[in-house]
Structure 1
Amino acid sequence: MSDQRIDSLTSSAYRQALEVIASVEPRIAEATRQELVDQRGSLKLIASENYASPAVLLTMGTWFSDKYAEGTVGHRFYAGCQNVDTVEALAAEHARELFGAPYAYAQPHSGIDANLVAFWSILAHRVETPALAKLGAKNVNELSEEDWESLRHELGNQRLLGMSLDAGGHLTHGFRPNISGKMFHQQQYGTDPETGLLDYDAVAAKAREFKPLVLVAGYSAYPRRVNFAKMREIADEVGATLMVDMAHFAGLVAGKVFTGDEDPVPHAHVVTTTTHKSLRGPRGGLVLAQEEYAADVDRGCPMVLGGPLSHVMAAKAVALAEARQPSFQVYAQSIADNAKSLADGFLSRGATLVTGGTDNHLVLLDVSSFGLTGRQAESALLDAGVVTNRNSVPHDANGAWYTSGVRLGTPALTTRGFGHDEFDRVAELIVHVLQNTQPGTTKDGKPSKASYTLGEGVADKVRDASAEMLDKHPLYPGIDLS
């Protein structure tokens, strides 16, 4: 089918869909239409966001949404799931083939769900199963109340070692307010205070001292690659299970930008990911595992999850099929190349970057050199049509709410076709905004961490300059809602 024919069908599909929605709740239809307008007109630099293909988006809007399907392929707790079985099996097949994983589980609704499935699967494999065997029981329902209380205490008292939030880790890697920080006895490892880089010797020393059951690797705001072979050596030395959360950089793994020691799949016992972000799929999660953990991960529903979102699993299958095409490897390499262009653009203009650069998909800009907090910078940039998110930097004096940094990622604008020159221009525009933003004061005259003043005309100037680039790289050019 020709591209022109596909564009015509896609536009017709969305126009008609919005008409149907508007017949019930026109405000939702209008908000949906406006969201496309807003995304088309802004520089999206949030590292965890991307643009899914029309095929992926359309796959989610089907009657698979109406079906309950607890259980696993061929073993459901509801009748009539034969088509869901097909969908889930295909999603898992594409995931296994794409990542070279022995086992894949496509049911998690999100990244945190994937991590919860992984955590409890590791606990079941490492703690519950041996304990049941020792007690002569097949499952927890056969335990006495006293034995169950003992097992429950043991399950909830294991040790987890993960990357700290301000060093670039994620909330679900043991951050105390998160469920991961409540269900485990946790400690965290950071980065070198001078370079901001992972110090594997320091991680190993921490692991030897703490002796965790689970060692978590991966990041959401660390602008460098990780040597997962070294992380596996550390885990093996202390008898830990290595779990890698690759939600942010899964597209770089799928696209063969990260290979060898930088590919977590051959080295980790369990790997989790989202399917959006750099993978460019629907919002959802995946768990990949070595065979020894497969049976435990397969218990994700009902252990942690409820009914699978069959329509999203179908969209995962479509997105993963797209990622298996040779063109995705070109895209993934462009993400990394563009991140370096963005970083070089900042450095050439005197900006400060955590670790001094990047070799993955994101850049972490320390805005304290502009006299701003992350919240002030994020807000001023948004006024100018540049969408980012504030983020902690190592040893952040402003904490996790106001922060001292802004995180920027290249996957979304790379999808639109931006290249080296555009990302250098993006860096120039961002620096211009920050140089012309002044922090405000509180009611009692003290320096404010939230309020700010953006120089007159700056927002309009940046929006106009951005529009020139955005017009050359239209978003969803095949969708005409007029």
Structure 2
Amino acid sequence: MSTRAAREATTAFFTTELSETDPLMRGAIEREEHRQQRQLELLAPKNYTSRATREAFRSIVSFTTIEGYPGKRYHAGMDNLDVIENLARDRAKELFKCRYANVQPHSGTQANQAVFFALLQPGDTVLSMSLDAGGHLSHGLRSNFSGRYFTVVSYGIDPETGLIDYDQLTDLARQHRPKLVITGGSSYPRAVDFARLRAVCDEIGAYLLADIAHFAGLVAAGVHPSPFPHTHVVTSTTNKNLRGPRGGLILTDDPELGRKLDSAIFPGVQGGPLPEFIAARAVAFGEALEPAFTEYAQAVLDNARRLGSVLQKRGYDIVTGGTDTPIVMVDLRRHGLTGDLAERSLENAGIPCNKNLVPGDPQKPSVTSGLRFGTSAVTTRGLRDPELRILAGLVADVLDGLIHQPNHVTKIEAEVRTQVEELASRFPIYQH
């Protein structure tokens, strides 16, 4: 290739847009943009970032390879990346009022993995909430690393209240003497008594880990109890109601534990982190430090409680009778519905959510007897109490159709979808 041809190829490489180089991919992305504009998502992990956060995520730092920590990198040219990571760490510490933060985990699961490997040896015993009671797969599911390399004992909930059975937990802790007790999870909707759990851990000499992924934004804003100073380690994701990009976060108030956790992430369970994600997290954490974020977090909680109350009034069973988080869990067993069927019908109506196990669920995880809803994304779009009343009513309309008019479900889905699209059009995202 001649020098001129090479120069032209290089210019094309840096200037040609996706629609020209890969129209199939551009088409798929455009369809997804269209879907997200027209639907109102009640998926619990779902949220959007600000335009500023997206700008950081798409910046030139994404082409940088980094390993190690600020001031101790394994590549040259890291000065600006050190500034970026230090901003993210310092803002996270300020946000959660603690003395250590690691912003490198690629996911919440890898954050949990690092905690396991920092504090435990393979074969050590872990006490965590069972999956159907609301726990998370990275807390000890047999097919996950946490269940394959560690001995896991599960605690559950009181079948009458749906709340954590603290007496059972205490008995199991005294019997099995775990080295790590985990609280938090993916579908437990109530606040946890962190102080009570710490007392149990102190009695048996165990570490306490709080996984706050689904309500971290509420903790940061002060509208949900903080796990500090009670827990030894806190993990979280950085999307959901923190409104950052996807990824994990590890926090502690103990600098000595922090050094172990740093080593567990790198070189323990990860190589280089993703600098564009760290830059975007720093922006999101900065936004969460602003006073407006408190109003947002309170609205997330208010919207979740409104969603649950409307569904309850329409005759649907809400696990624990309410929520202290963005999560609303609906038990469909009394109506003879399964979660997979309800999830599919709601998505057809423009309201994505997800099927989920409920306490004592007889169904397998691919079917389930419940639905999990979350209000972080619709709150970011601007929906507040009046709109949540409408949206909750539309959810109930679809479920009612499945129960009482199964032969007319397609028509009901279409009617609801029209109303959802009209409501969504009043709260657009990322307007050009």
C-alpha separation in 2, matches of 1:28 and 1:229? 50
Mean Cα deviation higher: 73-82 or 42-51: 73-82
CA drift at 1:19: 7.0
The residue aligned with 2:343 is 378
The residue aligned with 1:40 is 37
CA drift at 1:368: 2.1
The residue aligned with 1:416 is 381
C-alpha separation in 1, matches of 2:228 and 2:63? 34
Code of the aligned partner of 2:232: H
SS of residue matched to 2:365: helix
The residue aligned with 1:140 is none
The residue aligned with 2:266 is 301
CA drift at 1:158: 0.4
Equivalences for 1:139-154 in 2 at 5 Å?
Answer: none
Matched, 1:173 2:136: no
C-alpha separation in 2, matches of 1:454 and 1:38? 24
Matched, 1:95 2:95: no
Q: Which one of 339, 350, 353 corresponds to residue 315 of structure 2?
A: 350
Q: Which one of 216, 231, 248 corresponds to residue 285 of structure 1?
A: 248
Equivalences for 1:391-410 in 2 at 5 Å?
Answer: 391-410=356-375
- Conserved 8 A contact 2:155-2:165: no
CA drift at 1:103: 0.3
- Conserved 8 A contact 1:433-1:454: no
Describe the superposition over 1:219-265 as per-residue Cα deviations: whole angstroms up to 9, x where unpaired: 2101111111111111111110001111111000011101xxx2113
Measured at CA, do residues 400 and 453 of structure 1 come closer, stay the same or move farther in structure 2, by a change above 3 Å?
A: farther
C-alpha separation in 2, matches of 1:315 and 1:23? 28
Matched, 1:276 2:239: yes
- Conserved 8 A contact 2:345-2:398: yes
The residue aligned with 2:24 is 27
Code of the aligned partner of 2:68: G
The residue aligned with 1:188 is 154
The residue aligned with 2:228 is 265
Q: Which one of 392, 417, 424 corresponds to residue 470 of structure 1?
A: 424
Matched, 1:323 2:288: yes
CA drift at 1:471: 2.0
SS of residue matched to 1:390: strand
Describe the superposition over 1:94-142 as per-residue Cα deviations: whole angstroms up to 9, x where unpaired: 100110011000100111111111111112xxxxxxxxxxxxxxxxxxx
- Conserved 8 A contact 1:370-1:435: no
C-alpha separation in 2, matches of 1:340 and 1:168? 18
C-alpha separation in 1, matches of 2:146 and 2:408? 39
Measured at CA, do residues 316 and 197 of structure 1 come closer, stay the same or move farther in structure 2, by a change above 3 Å?
A: same
C-alpha separation in 2, matches of 1:87 and 1:236? 37
Identity of aligned residues (%): 44
CA drift at 1:291: 1.6
C-alpha separation in 2, matches of 1:27 and 1:114? 35
C-alpha separation in 1, matches of 2:25 and 2:251? 36
- Conserved 8 A contact 2:350-2:421: no
- Conserved 8 A contact 2:134-2:185: yes
SS of residue matched to 1:401: coil
Measured at CA, do residues 18 and 247 of structure 1 come closer, stay the same or move farther in structure 2, by a change above 3 Å?
A: farther
C-alpha separation in 1, matches of 2:24 and 2:80? 34
C-alpha separation in 1, matches of 2:398 and 2:18? 39
The residue aligned with 1:160 is 126
Q: Which one of 114, 119, 122 corresponds to residue 122 of structure 1?
A: 119
CA drift at 1:380: 0.8
CA drift at 1:33: 2.2
SS of residue matched to 2:366: helix
The residue aligned with 1:228 is 194
- Conserved 8 A contact 2:310-2:393: yes
Q: Which one of 300, 303, 316 corresponds to residue 338 of structure 1?
A: 303
Q: Which one of 205, 209, 216 corresponds to residue 175 of structure 2?
A: 209
What is the TM-score of this pair, normalised by structure 1?
0.84
Describe the superposition over 1:248-306 as per-residue Cα deviations: whole angstroms up to 9, x where unpaired: 11000011101xxx211321111111100111100111110122201111111111111
Code of the aligned partner of 2:287: E
Describe the superposition over 1:194-227 as per-residue Cα deviations: whole angstroms up to 9, x where unpaired: 1111122221111111110000111210111111
Code of the aligned partner of 2:167: D
Code of the aligned partner of 1:237: E
Describe the superposition over 1:453-479 as per-residue Cα deviations: whole angstroms up to 9, x where unpaired: 652411111012212321222222xx2
Measured at CA, do residues 456 and 104 of structure 1 come closer, stay the same or move farther in structure 2, by a change above 3 Å?
A: closer
Equivalences for 1:424-435 in 2 at 5 Å?
Answer: 424-435=389-400
SS of residue matched to 2:270: coil
C-alpha separation in 1, matches of 2:279 and 2:228? 23
SS of residue matched to 1:188: strand
C-alpha separation in 2, matches of 1:314 and 1:361? 26
C-alpha separation in 1, matches of 2:140 and 2:17? 44
Q: Aligned-pair RMSD on alpha carbons?
A: 1.7
C-alpha separation in 1, matches of 2:150 and 2:268? 17
Matched, 1:366 2:331: yes
C-alpha separation in 2, matches of 1:458 and 1:272? 41
C-alpha separation in 1, matches of 2:195 and 2:112? 21
CA drift at 1:56: 1.1
- Conserved 8 A contact 1:438-1:454: no
What is the TM-score of this pair, normalised by structure 2?
0.93
Describe the superposition over 1:394-423 as per-residue Cα deviations: whole angstroms up to 9, x where unpaired: 010112220000000111001111111211
Q: Which one of 457, 460, 463 corresponds to residue 411 of structure 2?
A: 457
Measured at CA, do residues 308 and 453 of structure 1 come closer, stay the same or move farther in structure 2, by a change above 3 Å?
A: farther
- Conserved 8 A contact 1:438-1:453: no
Mean Cα deviation higher: 300-309 or 454-463: 454-463
C-alpha separation in 2, matches of 1:85 and 1:210? 43
